[in-house]
């Protein structure tokens, strides 16, 4: 059975997805104005396609997939964020890639530091990652999606998504922890700064628990 082209019905489905959609758009685009535009464009596209959606389909996954595709189409000729190969080479030596999930803070440091971050600091941290990593990490942190769902929305194989998620969130933690605590440039900091073309120190050497 297919959906009807009823705006009110569409809005009922959209309401619980809107926060995740806007947050994802914000981390991808980096500005609230661009994020609102992206969400509006996605909404219009999704509404046009809504009558073809089966009633048993997952609206959230479908809508977020349209959002990702819309962003990719609008930015096809741009390369937002660092080059993926350079960034991956730089983060290869970072503790906690792949499966290890090495904690980089001790005690209550993470709670104190991370919960005091403002939106600009968070968006800056996301912007230091290649777009593919940014997408996956945004979907992971903004909603309660499992690996399969994130891979489906991001349009990449499950194992690729898994590797990028683990690497991406370790890199985010390193970037954010360093941005709050300052400190001297470590090997990771300088190499990552070169990779994304900035002079600013991004993080200090990890303090492994």
Partner 1 sequence: MNTAQPYQCEEVRQRLNDYLDQELSPQEMRLTLEHLDVCPDCMARCQQAYQELADLRAAIQDFDVPDGLPEELSRHL
Q: Cα(169)–Cα(114) distance, rounded to whole angstroms?
A: 13
Q: Is the Cβ of residue 121 or residue 190 nearer to partner 1 in the bound state?
A: 121
Work out which of 23, 183, 186, 201 binds partner 1, going by CB under 8 A: 23
Site stretch for partner 1 (CB under 8 A), options 57-65, 73-81, 128-136, 172-180: 172-180
Measured distance CA(174)–CA(33) in Å, rounded: 28
Contacts by residues 147-152 (CB-CB < 8 Å, ≥ 24 positions apart): 149/58, 149/61, 152/61, 152/65
CB-CB contact of 138 with 172 (8 Å): no
From 103, 109, 110, 117, select the one nearest 207 (Cα to Cα).
103
Q: Which two tokens stand for residue 36?
A: 């609102």
Pick from 60, 124, 164, 169: which binds partner 1 (CB under 8 A)?
Answer: 169
* Phi/psi-derived region of residue 182, left when phi > 0, alpha when psi is between -120 and 50, beta in every other case: left
Question: Of residues 36, 53, 84, 180, which one binds partner 1 by CB under 8 A?
Answer: 36
188 near partner 1, rule: CB under 8 A: no
Residue 124 has phi, psi (to 5 degrees) of -65, -45
Among 14, 66, 154, 206, binds partner 1 (CB under 8 A): 14
Q: CA distances (Å), 18 to each of 67, 93, 199, in order?
A: 11, 37, 36
Cβ proximity to partner 1, 90 vs 164, nearer residue:
164
Interface pick for partner 1 out of 66, 68, 94, 104 (rule CB under 8 A): 104
Residue 85: how many other CB atoms lie within 10 Å = 10
Task: For residue 186, state whether it binds partner 1 (rule: CB under 8 A).
Answer: no
Q: Binding segment for partner 1 among 82-90, 107-115, 189-197, 198-206 (CB under 8 A)? A: 107-115
Residues 139-168 that bind partner 1 (CB under 8 A): 141-142, 146-147, 162, 165-166
Residues forming the site for partner 1 (CB under 8 A): 7, 10-11, 14-15, 18-19, 22-23, 26, 32, 36, 39-40, 43-44, 47, 98-106, 110-111, 114-115, 117, 119, 122, 138, 141-142, 146-147, 162, 165-166, 169, 172-173, 176, 209
């Amino acid at each position: 059975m297919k959906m009807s082209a009823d705006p009110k019905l569409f809005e009922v489905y959209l309401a619980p997805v809107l926060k995740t959609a806007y947050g994802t758009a914000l981390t991808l685009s980096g500005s609230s104005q661009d994020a609102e535009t992206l969400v509006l464009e996605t909404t219009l596209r999704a509404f046009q396609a809504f009558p073809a959606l089966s009633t048993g389909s997952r609206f959230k996954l479908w809508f977020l997939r349209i959002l990702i595709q819309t962003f990719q189409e609008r930015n096809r000729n741009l390369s937002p964020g660092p080059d993926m190969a350079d960034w991956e080479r730089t983060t290869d030596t970072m503790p906690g890639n792949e499966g290890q999930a090495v904690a980089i803070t001790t005690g209550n440091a993470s709670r104190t530091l991370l919960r005091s971050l403002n939106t600009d600091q968070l968006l800056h941290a996301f912007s230091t990652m290649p777009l593919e990593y940014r997408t996956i990490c945004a979907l992971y942190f903004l909603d309660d999606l499992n690996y399969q769902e994130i891979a489906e929305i991001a349009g990449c194989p499950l194992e690729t998504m898994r590797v990028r998620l683990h690497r991406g969130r370790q890199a985010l933690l390193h970037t954010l922890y360093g941005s709050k605590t300052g400190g001297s440039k470590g090997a990771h900091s300088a190499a990552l700064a070169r990779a994304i073309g900035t002079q600013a120190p991004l993080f200090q050497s990890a303090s492994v628990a």
